[in-house]
Amino acid sequence: MSTDTESRRTERTISLGGTRTGRSETGQTVGPGAFRMLALGCVLVLLASIVSVLRDVTQVVGGTDSLFVLAGTMLLAATLLARLIRPRTATIAAVTAASLGFAYYLEASGVGVGVVLSATESLLADVVTLVTGLSLLRTVEASALTLGLVPAPVFLSWYLALRGRYALSVLPGGFALCFLVLTGDAELTITLIGTLAALGTVGFGELDRRGGSIAQADLLAVLFALIIVLSLSVTFVPGNATGPVTLDRGGPSSLEGAIDSAGQRSGFTGQVDLSPEVRFTVESEQASYWRTGVYDRFTGDEWVRSGQLQSPNGPINSPPGKYDVARQVVTAETELGVMPVAPQPLSVSKGAAQYAEVTRHGQIHPSTTLIEDDSYVVESAIIDSDPASLKQAGTNYPDEIEEYYLQLPEGTSSEFDDRTATVTEDADNPYETAATIESYLRSSKGYSLDIEQPNGNVAEEFLLEMDEGYCIYFATTMAQMLRAEDIPARYVTGYTSGQQVDDNTHVVRGLDAHAWVEVYFPDHGWVSFDPTPSGERDEVHLDRLQEARENGRENVDTDESEDVPIRNDSDDGSDDGRSPDPTEPGPPDNETDPTNPDDPPNSTDPNGTNTTDPTRPDPGTTAAQDGDGDDADNPLAITIPREFLAFTAVTIVGLAAAVHRTGGRELYDRTIGLYWQRRRDDPARDTERAYRRLERLFEREFRPRRPGESPRAYVSALGAQAATTLPTDRSAESGSQPRSQGDPQSRSDFRSDPQARSHSQSPPTPDPTDPRVEHVLACYEQAIYGTGVTPDDAATAIEFVDELARERLPFVGPNSDAASNADRP
């Protein structure tokens, strides 16, 4: 009988194992060969995950084809060499390949291989920066680094896998993946896939080598699920807000947050809100857009600032052409993670220089968060160029400008280029091109903060598909269009000039956050353009501020700004005389383009002094910089369900495997199974299970049965035990008639009348001397050792155990007790 049960059990395990691993295509006919294929497949997946991460980089900076060719070549080489060379030779080859790749990168970045000998420390520092979250995209020579990174891990991993050294083969690939995770390039999904593939390689490799069965893969399934669940719930890898370990696109749904949530990247969101809180005040004779970030590399869905920060020792690069120097005193009114400054900053005051860092692009950043009332003095170069001279500037761009500011993501569609060409076909020089694009965007697209974030290349989507957007869409699209026309352009973020409260004081609020474009002109430098339709924008913003004031929100005003009436946008718009204000160095400075009468920047100056206007009816919103970023409800609502489903599925599979592994079946038996038992056709099995339940009941009350103890011996031992402990309580409770448990006479009395016995029973625990216990025990013995039980007996046994179990329950037990007490004379 038991052998039958055993074999049945084994079968069940196998079939469960087959479905559980989710690789049911291998079915039950899993042999060693299948495991080998699985292991090799996992290695390929691991390598594919690495290459796909690198491809994301090359798609931005170029070189995708080379990447694939390189990876393919390495795979082929490894396949060919797998049988020819020994592991040591292969390792040497791989190390050589890695060194060559590195040398290629150094040469490409113009440093030269010699730097390895001369500046090892700074190279090490670079590596450290990379692995602490500096994206590959932010390295200046991202393409070269990417290509250099591919050959060694691909070759070595595949080579070792083919030689059957699965555990070893995971090392190079895993190392590379690890590196990419640390740089923040590998996204969650890719990382997960790679990790699981690595795990799968080792697991299946082991099964292959040891000749395991698919049933043993349950541990693997548990590990898979554990990794997935943990990686989705634990965050410790350094990265950015959009880094590899967040499910959503990192909370900020305020405009400010969308623009400046991270210093190195500027991403896109859909719907955003405006914070009316005052961020900082500027004392400056000239109003200006206050720039906080400059970005040069566009990935299609975010802007990346390449290069690293340096401390501002000495003067910052000044523009090549003529400029005026403007001095500003900026005072933070709240915690501030940026240093707003009028472009282009030349120097910062001594005190501020300690915590200021300068990017490659000449923008300053604070190395620590500024707190309220921190202030610093900056001198900026205000480019003094009129449109006429800009038109003459020509296209003789310096090499480094051409190299970094003409980048378009690979795969930018020809439609985008075509449309750009159509828009700009009448323009004769870069300045006119820029002005044309600016006016085209202003006139053809509407301003709205309530939009859905597009998929794919944002610039393309905005130009070709969307009708509305806000500053970051306008600015991105313009920058990309300019680049498509081979005009160096970059995307900058910051704040508009804000509310002017007296002659030279400007109050800047969160809702003044803005993004615009800078275009390079030889011999002049970077000139700002703002493609965002300012009129609509101002309206929206003004409404928002007024609403905030009405609601009595704090931090909406400074002492000065409170009393100053906000000038309406219509005032601003009608005030044509104000726009050609020569002191205002803002982007589409009227002074710079008066010759173009149909150029909208002239008529509607975007940096009007009162850009402060609220519209958004969401008072609960604050900027991400306040530290309490809101839920990005829209993107979340779309993405979560699917991910959540997958998450749940994985958890369930993992739990199922774990349950199988740890004998959760027993757990069920111990809990629910105590109180309920499914009837089967087989009375013997039913009886057996009934007895097991009874035994578990006893187990809880007394002790488990010892292995050498027969069922009957166990029950009678418990009976003896109960007789020594219970009688005193029992006699006290039942009063007149103390009952001796050991007395065979009384026991046989009870046996004759089980019903009466059960009712007069005072302790809720199953009593080992209960006649129902005896019945179950007798049935069990009859079933196991005797000639079998009748279905009726089995049913009675189950019923008795049900009763006994339920009497233990807190509510059922006492009730029956009370009833029996009432019956008593």
Residues that bind other proteins (CB under 8 A): 1-2, 6, 9, 706-713, 781-782, 784-787
Tokens, residue 106: 């150094």
- The least distance separating other proteins from the CB of residue 216, rounded to whole angstroms, comes to 15
- The least distance separating other proteins from the CB of residue 755, rounded to whole angstroms, comes to 25
Rank residues 108 and 659 by Cβ distance to other proteins and give the closer one.
Answer: 659
CA atoms within 13 A on the CB side of 126: 16
- The least distance separating other proteins from the CB of residue 796, rounded to whole angstroms, comes to 19
Rank residues 326 and 694 by Cβ distance to other proteins and give the closer one.
Answer: 694
- The least distance separating other proteins from the CB of residue 804, rounded to whole angstroms, comes to 21
Rank residues 1 and 84 by Cβ distance to other proteins and give the closer one.
Answer: 1
Q: Is 745 exposed, middle or buried (0-12, 13-18, 19+ CB in 10 A)?
A: exposed
- The least distance separating other proteins from the CB of residue 779, rounded to whole angstroms, comes to 13
Q: CA 428, CA 436: separation in Å to the nearest integer?
A: 10
Q: What separation in angstroms does the CA of 260 have from each of 265, 281, 310, 515?
A: 8, 18, 19, 10
Rank residues 63 and 711 by Cβ distance to other proteins and give the closer one.
Answer: 711
Rank residues 742 and 786 by Cβ distance to other proteins and give the closer one.
Answer: 786
Q: Which residues pair with 304 in a beta bridge?
A: 265, 297
Q: CA torsion sign, 477 to 483 to 485 to 489? A: positive
Tokens, residue 421: 């060409």
Q: Measure CA of the first residue to CA of the last residue in the chain; give whole Å.
A: 51
- The least distance separating other proteins from the CB of residue 675, rounded to whole angstroms, comes to 22
Q: Which amino acid is at 800?
A: F
Coil vs helix vs strand at 310: strand
State the alpha helices, DSSP H only, in 248-342. Answer: 255-260
- The least distance separating other proteins from the CB of residue 808, rounded to whole angstroms, comes to 24
Rank residues 219 and 713 by Cβ distance to other proteins and give the closer one.
Answer: 713
Rank residues 443 and 748 by Cβ distance to other proteins and give the closer one.
Answer: 748
Backbone torsions φ then ψ of 322, nearest 5 degrees: -75, 145
Rank residues 223 and 715 by Cβ distance to other proteins and give the closer one.
Answer: 715
Rank residues 785 and 811 by Cβ distance to other proteins and give the closer one.
Answer: 785
CA atoms within 13 A on the CB side of 662: 9
Cα-based angle 10, 16, 18 (whole degrees, multiple of 5): 105
Rank residues 325 and 667 by Cβ distance to other proteins and give the closer one.
Answer: 667
- The least distance separating other proteins from the CB of residue 711, rounded to whole angstroms, comes to 8
Q: CA 540, CA 268: separation in Å to the nearest integer?
A: 19
State the alpha helices, DSSP H only, in 234-295. Answer: 255-260
Q: Is 3 exposed, middle or buried (0-12, 13-18, 19+ CB in 10 A)?
A: exposed
Instruction: Count other C-beta atoms under 10 Å from residue 445's C-beta.
Output: 22
State the alpha helices, DSSP H only, in 406-553. Answer: 414-423, 430-444, 458-464, 471-484, 534-550
Rank residues 562 and 709 by Cβ distance to other proteins and give the closer one.
Answer: 709
**Cis before 344 (ω within 30):** yes
User: Under 8 Å CB-to-CB from 608, ≥6 apart: which residues?
Assistant: 496, 497, 534, 538, 567, 569, 572, 578
Tokens, residue 122: 């700074």
Rank residues 669 and 701 by Cβ distance to other proteins and give the closer one.
Answer: 669
- The least distance separating other proteins from the CB of residue 684, rounded to whole angstroms, comes to 11
Rank residues 27 and 786 by Cβ distance to other proteins and give the closer one.
Answer: 786
- The least distance separating other proteins from the CB of residue 708, rounded to whole angstroms, comes to 4
Rank residues 316 and 797 by Cβ distance to other proteins and give the closer one.
Answer: 797
Length of the chain equals: 825
Rank residues 1 and 230 by Cβ distance to other proteins and give the closer one.
Answer: 1
- The least distance separating other proteins from the CB of residue 634, rounded to whole angstroms, comes to 53
HEC per residue, 675-735: HCCCCCCCHHHHHHHHHHHHHHHHHHHCCCCCCCCCHHHHHHHHHHHHHHHCHHHHHHHHC
Rank residues 274 and 684 by Cβ distance to other proteins and give the closer one.
Answer: 684
Q: What separation in angstroms does the CA of 747 have from each of 507, 568, 808?
A: 95, 99, 22
Residue whose C-alpha is closest to residue 255's, from 272, 271, 278, 267: 272
- The least distance separating other proteins from the CB of residue 802, rounded to whole angstroms, comes to 23
Q: What separation in angstroms does the CA of 165 have from each of 46, 89, 217, 437?
A: 15, 15, 19, 59
Q: CA 10, CA 440: separation in Å to the nearest integer?
A: 73
- The least distance separating other proteins from the CB of residue 137, rounded to whole angstroms, comes to 56
Q: Is 283 exposed, middle or buried (0-12, 13-18, 19+ CB in 10 A)?
A: middle
Q: Is 14 exposed, middle or buried (0-12, 13-18, 19+ CB in 10 A)?
A: middle
- The least distance separating other proteins from the CB of residue 662, rounded to whole angstroms, comes to 14
- The least distance separating other proteins from the CB of residue 60, rounded to whole angstroms, comes to 58
- The least distance separating other proteins from the CB of residue 803, rounded to whole angstroms, comes to 25
